[in-house]
Structure formats: C-alpha cells, structure tokens
C-alpha cells in the first residue's frame, strides 16, 4: 500500500502540468513507460476504425487496459481490484498531461516525433477546442486523481476491516 500511496502522490505532483523536461521520479518513470507501451499499441489496435480513433486509440487503450484489469479483478472478488483502480486513475492522470500539453506543445514526444504527431493537439484542433485543451486536461486530471484516491481509500478501508475481523477472538 505504501508504494501505491507514493505513486499516487508522485503522479499528483509531477503530472499536474506539462513540462519540457518531463523529469519524473524513477518509480513514476517505470509506471509511465508501461503505460506508454500500452498507449502506442492502442494506436495500432484502433487504426482499423479511422483517423480519429487511431489518434485517440493510444489514450483509450492506456485507460482501458487497467480498467479491464479492475473489472476482471472485481468480478473474481480479488483484493487487487483496488490496485487496478489506482492504476486506472494514474493512467487517466498520465493522459491528462498529454491533453493539457495540446495547446503548449512542450512535452517531448516518443522517438523525437515532430509536433504534428501530438495526438491531443490534432484532436483538439479537429474539434476546434485547442484553446480549451488545458481546461479539459485539468478536468481529466481531477477525474483520475479522484479515482486513484478512491482506490487508495477503499483499499485502506478493506485492510482495516480485514485486520479487525481477524483480530477479534472467537
């Protein structure tokens, strides 16, 4: 649980605003790189559905993968469902930085791609919302933060309840 709390704190602090240096703590880099691979696979998977879903597919897959883990764990009654919920929130927070960056174009893109390959800049321009990209990203950020914190809170509550149930004499 301590590691999850640390990751959530780091994500809330380091993913709040886009930064051209994108300097993250090591554990958050590890989490971000896993999500990045899932993100890039999403572009390929959604490429059969046209331009908009090809562009959006990276962010969709990045959020859908841990969400699928959550749904599966919840269905199986696994206590890992709360961990999956935290990672879904972290993934949403990670996407929010990309959305916020659409109007600023500060983040370094994978492989040194040009700014024309910025998914959310392309989407927001297509939708005529480039000026609102930071506000949309902020909304997405707080949605992810709320989900991650809810996962932590329900995990702590479950741990507390389990401890008190096992600590009571028969």
> How do the domains of the chain map onto residue ranges?
27-46+56-165
User: What pLDDT is attached to residue 66?
Assistant: 95
pLDDT tens-digit readout, 16-54: 666 655 555 566 677 888 888 999 999 999 999 999 999
Whether the pLDDT of residue 55 is over 60: the answer is yes
What are the residue ranges of helices labelled H in 46-132? 51-76, 80-100, 119-126
Whether the pLDDT of residue 71 is over 90: the answer is yes
User: What pLDDT is attached to residue 107?
Assistant: 81
CA distance 27 to 135: 28
Whether the pLDDT of residue 74 is over 80: the answer is yes
- Given CA atoms 52, 67, 145, 3 in this order, what sign does their dihedral have? negative
Query: Residue 67's pLDDT band (boundaries 50, 70, 90)?
Result: very high
The torsion of the CA quartet 106, 111, 114, 119, rounded to 10 degrees, works out to -70
List phi, psi (to 5°) of 150.
Answer: -65, -40
Characterize 45-72 residue by residue with b for buried, 16 or more Cβ atoms within 10 angstroms of its Cβ, and e for exposed: bbeeeeeeebbbbbbbbbbbbbbebbee
**Nearest alpha carbon to residue 29 among 3, 2, 1, 10:** 10
* Burial class of 105 by CB neighbour count within 10 A (0 to 12, 13 to 18, 19+): middle
Q: How much is the pTM?
A: 0.83
Which residues, 6 or more positions from 16, have their beta carbon under 8 angstroms from its beta carbon?
97, 141
* Burial class of 148 by CB neighbour count within 10 A (0 to 12, 13 to 18, 19+): buried
């Amino acid at each position: 649980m301590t590691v999850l709390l640390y990751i959530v704190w780091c994500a809330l602090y380091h993913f709040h605003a886009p930064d051209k240096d994108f300097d993250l703590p090591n554990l958050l880099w590890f989490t971000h790189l896993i999500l990045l691979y899932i993100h890039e696979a999403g572009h390929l998977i959604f490429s059969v559905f046209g331009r908009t879903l090809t562009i959006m597919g990276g962010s969709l897959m990045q959020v859908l993968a841990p969400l699928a883990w959550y749904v599966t764990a919840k269905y199986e009654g696994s206590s890992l469902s709360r961990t999956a919920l935290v990672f879904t929130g972290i993934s949403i927070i990670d996407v929010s930085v990309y959305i916020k960056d659409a109007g600023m174009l500060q983040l370094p893109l994978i492989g040194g791609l040009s700014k024309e390959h910025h998914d959310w800049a392309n989407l927001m321009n297509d939708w005529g919302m480039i000026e609102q990209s930071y506000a949309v990203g902020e909304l997405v950020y707080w949605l992810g933060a709320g989900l991650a914190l809810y996962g932590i809170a329900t995990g702590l509550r479950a741990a507390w309840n389990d401890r008190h149930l096992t600590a009571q004499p028969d």
